[in-house]
Amino acid sequence: MKTQMRALATNLGGHLVKTSGCHAKFAKAFRKLAADVDPLFGDLAALHEESQAADIELAQRCGEFAKILDKAAGFSDDLGALQPTQVSAVTGDAPPASLRMVPRSGQREISQFAALDKSGLADETIRKIVSVD
């Protein structure tokens, strides 16, 4: 979703920059008409200048929004800001059934039934806990 939002902000900002250029051309043409033909064209030139300023301001805000989305996604110009963590996944209160532990050589037991595993009572205890009888 962040990628699509960033693409939208970037495309919108680019479009606004292009339209601000068009407004500048129209304002220049209407200023010339106001001087040569009728002062009423000066009002149209002023409206196009206002639209140009508004488009530039909105394009700058789109750029700021894209930067915010980059930071939210973990991208930054400051590579020192990226800090490694010991968290590799967040599964919630109960891990999904498809997730299983793969023990590594020399790894300590992390099961809550580790003490029972050594005595051979783990299977019986687990069966009591999960049975519906």
pLDDT of amino acid 66: 85
> Left if phi > 0, otherwise alpha if psi is -120 to 50, otherwise beta: which for 49?
alpha
- Report the candidate in 102, 81, 83, 71 with the shortest Cα–Cα distance to residue 2: 71
- Tell which wins on pLDDT, 129 or 20: 20
Is the CA virtual torsion 71, 74, 80, 83 positive or negative? positive
Q: What predicted TM-score, i.e. pTM, was given to this entire model?
A: 0.52
Q: Calculate mean pLDDT across residues 110-123.
A: 59
Return the minimum-mean-pLDDT range out of 18-27, 47-56, 77-86, 90-99: 77-86
